[in-house]
């Protein structure tokens, strides 16, 4: 009997909280020394650890539930306190600056395992593929820094926008910030945080002359869906190749963006600045599924037209990630009303996705989150976790092969 108990003890699953503690050790090495008061016991690293351990459980998404969760033995070891009252956590979220977590996120990103290109047809493109999009999150009550939206019979709703940059191959965020009232459009918000050596893939909300110019000045490229009303003056018509026609490419032109025309607008400037200089391509693709034409603008003059279409299709990855964040990870409910606290919660969401990716070796998904939750409850051993992840990877590989065969047909 004793031998059997010893064997069971050796087979106990490696609990998720131990991984959170390991992550907190890594975070602690990359966090700058914290300035604290003599009677202060809850620090930035404690708050991050508590939020990370709570994030493993998708049901723990309110201050009251996090307070209850903080009494868990492993959570107590992360915070150094027997309990973290919701009022204390609320004050800490409003007071702590989340920006020291940004170098931690960058350090974790540098440790990410390599993933092959999501779409094998774009493997020859060396630049990093980044999709940009903004998504609204609701806040309880009227918050001064938030955007107030009239919801009719529901009254006024306070909302903030998450401005997200996503690597479409790794399915991981590369950058984010939060916007509220009076902070401009999506395009204007992203102009402040552009990187070099990327291809930015964006939808029609980013038809903004200032944004297009900013991407070029940052040393990056873009694939942008144009509005039909955007003026474009072609100087060259390119004949679509056989592969282009198979991908439903209807038109491929090189030219310039000329801006709106009127007698009083000699510079052809729009509300978003003057037209950017240089040559661009305007590619029209027939979307057979939705029976519409997709008009794309890009500064990639040498890539085949069908590749530009494949690049734009990858933008859907950011929609899937935002859906994962809101629906499966249950981050649609924000527990803070302060700009710092809201940003902190999104940073913790990014840390969670990085840790999930490092642990599983595959992009984050509802499957990896569910497996992690099962492990956190002690109902899944490390061996069983690896078997489930391997099964999911095999399913993904078979699905990728099926899609490739379908495209060849």
Residue 221, pLDDT > 80, answer yes
pLDDT (0 to 100) of residue 11: 32
Residue 203, pLDDT > 90, answer yes
Output the six-digit token pair for 331.
Answer: 């981050």
Q: How many residues does the chain have?
A: 409
Kindly state the percentage of the chain with pLDDT values over 90: 30
pLDDT (0 to 100) of residue 2: 34
pLDDT digits 0-9 by tens, 86-131: 999 999 998 888 888 888 888 888 877 665 666 666 666 768 899 9
- Distance (Å, whole) CA 278 – CA 221: 13
Per 3-state DSSP, what percentage of the chain is helix, strand, and coil (rounded to 5)? 45, 20, 35
Output the six-digit token pair for 3.
Answer: 């031998």
pLDDT (0 to 100) of residue 21: 66
Output the six-digit token pair for 353.
Answer: 């996705």
pLDDT bucket at 271, cuts 50 / 70 / 90 = low
Residue 252, pLDDT > 90, answer yes
pLDDT (0 to 100) of residue 231: 86
Residue 207, pLDDT > 80, answer yes
Q: Which of 217, 222, 180 is nearest to 200 (CA)?
A: 222
Mean pLDDT lowest among 54-68, 202-216, 275-289: 54-68
pLDDT digits 0-9 by tens, 8-46: 233 333 345 556 666 677 777 767 666 554 446 678 888
pLDDT digits 0-9 by tens, 359-393: 666 666 666 666 666 665 555 666 776 777 777 77
pLDDT (0 to 100) of residue 371: 67
């Amino acid at each position: 009997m004793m031998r059997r108990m010893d064997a069971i003890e050796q087979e106990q699953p490696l609990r998720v909280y131990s991984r959170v503690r390991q992550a907190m050790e890594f975070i602690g090495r990359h966090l700058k020394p914290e300035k604290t008061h003599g009677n202060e016991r809850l620090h930035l690293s404690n708050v991050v650890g508590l939020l990370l351990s709570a994030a493993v459980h998708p049901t723990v998404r309110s201050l009251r539930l996090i307070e209850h969760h903080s009494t868990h033995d492993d959570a107590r070891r992360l915070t150094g306190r027997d309990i973290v009252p919701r009022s204390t956590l609320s004050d800490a979220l409003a007071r702590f600056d989340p920006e020291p977590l940004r170098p931690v996120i960058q350090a974790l990103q540098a440790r990410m395992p390599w993933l092959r290109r999501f779409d094998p047809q774009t493997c020859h493109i060396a630049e990093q593929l980044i999709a940009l999009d903004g998504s609204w999150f609701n806040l309880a009550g009227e918050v001064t820094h938030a955007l107030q939206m009239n919801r009719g019979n529901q009254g006024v709703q306070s909302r903030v926008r998450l401005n997200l940059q996503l690597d479409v191959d790794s399915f991981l965020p590369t950058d984010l910030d939060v916007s509220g009232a009076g902070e401009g459009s999506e395009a204007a918000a992203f102009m402040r945080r552009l990187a070099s050596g990327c291809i930015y893939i964006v939808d029609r909300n980013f038809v903004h002359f200032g944004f297009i110019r900013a991407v070029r000045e940052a040393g990056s490229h873009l694939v942008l869906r144009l509005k039909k009303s955007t003026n474009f003056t072609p100087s060259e018509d390119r004949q679509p190749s056989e592969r282009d026609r198979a991908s439903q490419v209807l038109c491929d032109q090189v030219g310039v963006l000329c801006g709106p025309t009127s007698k009083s607008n000699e510079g052809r400037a729009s509300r978003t600045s003057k037209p950017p200089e240089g040559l661009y391509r305007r590619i029209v693709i027939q979307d057979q599924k939705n029976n519409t034409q997709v008009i794309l603008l890009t500064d990639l003059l040498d890539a085949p037209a069908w590749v530009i279409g494949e690049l734009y299709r990858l933008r859907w990855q950011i929609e899937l990630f935002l859906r994962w964040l809101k629906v499966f990870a249950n981050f649609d409910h924000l527990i803070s009303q302060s700009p710092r606290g809201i940003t902190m919660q999104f940073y913790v969401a990014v840390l969670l996705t990085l840790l999930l990716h490092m642990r599983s070796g595959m992009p984050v998904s509802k499957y990896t989150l569910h497996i992690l939750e099962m492990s956190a409850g002690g109902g899944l051993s490390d061996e069983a976790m690896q078997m489930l992840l391997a099964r999911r990877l095999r399913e993904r590989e078979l699905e990728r092969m099926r899609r490739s065969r379908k495209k060849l047909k």
